[in-house]
Chains A and B, each alone.
Chain A
């Protein structure tokens, strides 16, 4: 039961593997608050006190970490689906 073709499932597999690796890596880095990602945090334009700013920074890091890990999990699902589709397509070509 092939939902998508051979090439689509292959692309899906490669993208998913890349997504899992990179998003896991990014998730871990966000969790340990790596300063390289300081510009990627969801922050407001203006803060009244530095304590607010620091709290927001910590919250932003955690939030992004979890977002990346959720994305990684979704890519695990996509990897599963793509691999299944890939093998479905392989079987049909052998039958022909």
Chain B
């Protein structure tokens, strides 16, 4: 970053004494444009000694996926993005037959159960109920008086969302794959933690009169940032980061303007 071309040094106009064209010892003051010495690279030193990098929504050690970071002035946008309260999308993989203490497949075993009575239809029924109760929670925590016409119009458009701190809310669940004992869900949620998603998988197992553990949690979208914008380990260099920032800038600005006004 420091090797990139710098801003040209500031110029100033100084009256420098130069010998007069006539001759003799007379000195004339001639205005000339001279670079300011304070801007000289050797005086100033490298432009960037430290970079401030801030993190967006948390992603714990056992999960993977999109993780938003802010660099330098972008850190200010991070708070604004947090206040937009946009949904995040996760792909959660689960496995029936086991229940563990920390709801993931690497934890201490609590119980083993049968799962051959589970069908995709039963799972989808449970998912529909989860969506229903979470939809109710969405309307309740959004702190709008239900008796107003405004609340009715927002509910019709589906725009009611809690704009402050609230318990985790799931706005949508869908079963992507179902092959006993494994299954995969796509979960859209707000204000959640990855451990909460693992707990949801465990509770789905309990509702189906069996048990389930979560095998993987992968965030596929965080607000406006999707997997396509995310940089894998091999692309953590300056050029890719700069391109990524440039690509997302417009989307972030429009989103902030739309939500926060």
Whether chains A and B associate is: no
